[in-house]
């Protein structure tokens, strides 16, 4: 692998799992396999899909104790479910590996549901969110089209400019949250989690970070003064494109267990046991998948960079990427996502997409297969060209999730499709 990328701080972690009796695992991959697992009462090897909406009480008194919180135990699956708990505890363990802290995760029906709970649990009318312009489309629309009707607005700036960011923070005391997403589509921009979270804390802002593209294997935002992490678990965490899901993780355990849990339960964006089961199985191979994804991505970026049909490759593993050093500082490897621009624009993009044999034409990311999409003819077809360019979406831009297939097959397919 690309040795210039440093591993995140910390090299060992404790598994908060009673079944391991305090035994410490020193490898991240071991935690991905075993973290969060509890012995099933029926001795099933895999935690079953607990397809049950409610849970029974032995006695009325036990029901009272469960409802009052005096006794731990499940009541209703919108509030919690054993299959869901395993996925939550596994991701929480991975996000804190080697950091010596404990966080709580709440699994949601989607990444957007997790982000919605975050916003509505932490912000009130009059509050503002400070964020960067290359946000996930859904998050951008939530912040600019939905939250304003609750009196919450967003200020969008270039968070890579620390001086400008400080000016904005200084000039507006209504800013209550700094929201980061790094790396981000479409040009794989990265923002500096350490510098920005420290700055936000000087101005008493809470800091949230969308860690979907990196996953906790490549990047651990909780190692910095970041309060909340969100993920679309639909992507690399699940890894196989089999379920939509999201998670919200928080450092303030008291807040997570009280107000945040209440907001999650009442908004009703809960996950379900089947999707949680698929997620847990997917995460077990996250380390081996990410190693292969990133290795393949670096090779593909090198191939594309020297190809005649291509004007530009946006990949943080390349020294030519403007955020190469930010990515190097905070990520173990530069990730599996890239984009590139075809010299011949729209028609070249359409031709490339139509010529693919093995690689898959679809949106989304994070799956084991290589996926390509052409925003100008697909997701952003109805958006006027001038507006698209504001988001860096040129006519010949291709977005790619580099999969874990054999590298030669990926390159051969791209090469024949480019001819
Ligand atoms: C997909 C995605 C989301 C939204 O997640 P869903 O699971 O589709 O709701 C949020 N952030 C990023 C970075 C994403 O890629």
CATH number, domain at 86? 3.40.640.10
The ligand 1 atom nearest the CA atom of 185: 13
The CA 242 to ligand 1 mean position distance, Å, reads 14
How would you list the strands of the sheet with 128-132, edge to edge? 104-108, 246-250, 228-232, 206-210, 175-181, 128-132, 153-157
Residues lining ligand 1, Cβ inside 6 A: 110-112, 136, 138-139, 181, 210, 212-213, 232, 234-235, 244, 246
Residue 2: what pLDDT? 42
CB atoms within 10 A of CB 19: 10
Residue 38 contacts by C-beta under 8 Å, 6 or more apart in sequence?
Answer: 17, 18, 19, 47, 82, 86
Residue 391: what pLDDT? 78
Q: Do you find a cis peptide bond into 23, omega within 30 degrees of 0?
A: no
- DSSP letters of 297-326? HHHHHHHHHT-TTEEEEE-TTSTTSTTHHH
Residues 75 and 145 reside in one and the same domain? yes
CA distance 106 to 415: 43
The CA 111 to ligand 1 mean position distance, Å, reads 5
The CA 365 to ligand 1 mean position distance, Å, reads 9
pLDDT at 20 over 70: no
Q: What is the CATH number of the domain that holds 391?
A: 3.90.1150.10
Residues 279 and 292 reside in one and the same domain? no
Residues 262 and 329 reside in one and the same domain? no
Residue 10 lies in a domain: no
CA distance 292 to 302: 16
Residue 9 lies in a domain: no
Residue 7 lies in a domain: no
The ligand 1 atom nearest the CA atom of 246: 7
The ligand 1 atom nearest the CA atom of 139: 10
Residue 387: what pLDDT? 81
Residue 377 contacts by C-beta under 8 Å, 6 or more apart in sequence?
Answer: 346, 349, 350, 353
Comparing 26 with 246, which gets the higher pLDDT? 246
Residue 416: what pLDDT? 98
What is the band of 379 on the pLDDT scale with cuts at 50, 70, 90? Answer: confident
The CA 234 to ligand 1 mean position distance, Å, reads 7
Residues 298 and 206 reside in one and the same domain? no
Residues 206 and 349 reside in one and the same domain? no
Residues 255 and 335 reside in one and the same domain? no
Residues 369 and 253 reside in one and the same domain? no
**Which residue puts its alpha carbon closest to atom 5 of ligand 1?**
111
Residue 367 lies in a domain: yes
90-115 b/e (C-beta count within 10 Å ≥ 16 → b)? bbbbbbbbbbeeebbbbbbbbbbbbb
User: Which of 109, 135, 232 most suits a substitution to test ligand 1, by most atoms within 8 Å of the C-beta?
Assistant: 232
Helices assigned H by DSSP within 70-136:
82-95, 111-122
CA distance 80 to 386: 46
Residue 385: what pLDDT? 81
The CA 209 to ligand 1 mean position distance, Å, reads 12
Number of domains forming the structure of the chain: 2
**Which residue puts its alpha carbon closest to atom 1 of ligand 1?**
232
The ligand 1 atom nearest the CA atom of 181: 13
Residue 6 lies in a domain: no
The ligand 1 atom nearest the CA atom of 113: 9
**What's the mean pLDDT in 322-330?**
98
Per-residue pLDDT reduced to its tens digit, 39-78: 999 999 999 999 999 999 999 999 999 999 999 999 999 9
The ligand 1 atom nearest the CA atom of 234: 7
Comparing 26 with 354, which gets the higher pLDDT? 354
CA distance 264 to 120: 9
Q: Quote the percentage of the chain above a pLDDT of 90.
A: 88
Residues 259 and 403 reside in one and the same domain? no
Domain boundary among 283, 306, 333: 283
Domain boundary among 227, 257, 283: 283
What is the band of 21 on the pLDDT scale with cuts at 50, 70, 90? Answer: low
Domain boundary among 231, 256, 283: 283
Residue 15: what pLDDT? 41
Residue 1 lies in a domain: no
Average pLDDT, the chain: 94
CA distance 247 to 212: 10
Write out the residue range of the structural domain in which residue 193 sits.
Answer: 17-283
Q: What's the CA angle centered on 254, arms 249 and 257, to 5 degrees?
A: 60
Residue 135 lies in a domain: yes
**Which residue puts its alpha carbon closest to atom 8 of ligand 1?**
111
**What's the mean pLDDT in 336-363?**
96
Residue 380: what pLDDT? 84
Per-residue pLDDT reduced to its tens digit, 191-241: 999 999 999 999 999 999 999 999 999 999 999 999 999 999 999 999 999
Asked if 124 and 151 touch (Cβ cutoff 8 Å), the reply is yes
The ligand 1 atom nearest the CA atom of 114: 9
Asked if 109 and 244 touch (Cβ cutoff 8 Å), the reply is yes
Residues 215 and 364 reside in one and the same domain? no
CA distance 307 to 419: 10
Residue 64: what pLDDT? 96
User: Which of 108, 111, 242 most suits a substitution to test ligand 1, by most atoms within 8 Å of the C-beta?
Assistant: 111
What is the band of 35 on the pLDDT scale with cuts at 50, 70, 90? Answer: very high
pLDDT at 146 over 70: yes
Per-residue pLDDT reduced to its tens digit, 151-162: 999 999 999 999
Residue 206 contacts by C-beta under 8 Å, 6 or more apart in sequence?
Answer: 122, 176, 177, 178, 200, 227, 228
Residue 8 lies in a domain: no
117-147 b/e (C-beta count within 10 Å ≥ 16 → b)? bbbbbbbeeebbbbbbebbbeebbebbeeeb
Residues 221 and 266 reside in one and the same domain? yes
CB atoms within 10 A of CB 56: 9
Residue 13: what pLDDT? 37
Residues 271 and 220 reside in one and the same domain? yes
CA distance 129 to 225: 17
Asked if 219 and 28 touch (Cβ cutoff 8 Å), the reply is no
**Which residue puts its alpha carbon closest to atom 12 of ligand 1?**
136
Secondary structure (3-state) at 40: coil
Residues 257 and 352 reside in one and the same domain? no
pLDDT at 321 over 70: yes
The CA 185 to ligand 1 mean position distance, Å, reads 11
């Amino acid at each position: 692998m690309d040795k210039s990328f440093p591993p995140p701080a910390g090299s060992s972690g404790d598994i908060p799992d009673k079944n391991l009796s305090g035994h410490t695992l020193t490898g991240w991959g071991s935690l991905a396999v075993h973290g969060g697992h509890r012995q099933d009462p029926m001795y099933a090897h895999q935690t079953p899909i607990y397809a049950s909406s409610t849970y029974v009480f032995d006695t009325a008194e036990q029901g009272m104790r469960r409802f009052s919180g005096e006794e731990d135990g499940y009541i209703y699956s919108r509030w919690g479910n054993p299959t869901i708990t395993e996925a939550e505890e596994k991701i929480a363990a991975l996000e804190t590996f080697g950091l010596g802290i404990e966080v709580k995760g709440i699994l949601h029906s989607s990444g957007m549901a997790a982000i919605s709970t975050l916003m509505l649990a932490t912000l009130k009318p009059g509050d503002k969110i400070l964020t960067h312009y290359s946000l996930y489309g859904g998050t951008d629309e939530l912040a600019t089209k939905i939250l304003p009707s609750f009196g919450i607005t967003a200020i969008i700036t270039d968070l890579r400019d620390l001086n400008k960011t400080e000016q904005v923070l200084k000039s507006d005391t209504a800013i209550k949250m700094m929201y980061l997403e790094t790396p981000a589509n479409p040009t794989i921009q990265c923002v500096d989690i350490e510098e920005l979270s420290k700055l936000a804390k000087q101005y008493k802002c809470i800091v949230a970070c969308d860690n979907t593209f990196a996953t906790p294997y490549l990047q651990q935002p909780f190692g910095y003064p970041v309060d909340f992490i969100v993920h679309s678990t639909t992507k690399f965490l699940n890894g196989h494109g089999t379920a939509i899901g999201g998670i919200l993780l928080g450092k303030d355990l008291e807040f997570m267990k009280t107000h945040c849990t209440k907001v999650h339960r009442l908004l009703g964006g809960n996950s379900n046991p089947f999707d949680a089961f698929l997620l847990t199985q997917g995460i077990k191979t996250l380390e081996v998948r990410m190693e292969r994804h990133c290795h393949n991505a670096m090779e593909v970026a090198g191939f594309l960079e020297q190809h005649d049909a291509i004007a530009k490759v946006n990949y943080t593993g390349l020294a030519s990427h403007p955020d190469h050093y930010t990515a190097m500082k905070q990520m173990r490897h530069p990730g599996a996502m890239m984009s590139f621009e075809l010299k011949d624009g729209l028609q070249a993009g359409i031709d490339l997409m139509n010529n693919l044999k093995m690689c898959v034409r679809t949106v989304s990311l994070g799956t084991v297969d290589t996926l390509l999409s052409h925003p100008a003819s697909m997701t952003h077809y109805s958006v006027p060209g001038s507006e698209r360019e504001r988001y860096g979406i040129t006519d010949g831009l291709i977005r790619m999730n580099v999969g874990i297939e054999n590298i030669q097959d990926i390159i051969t397919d791209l090469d024949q499709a480019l001819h």
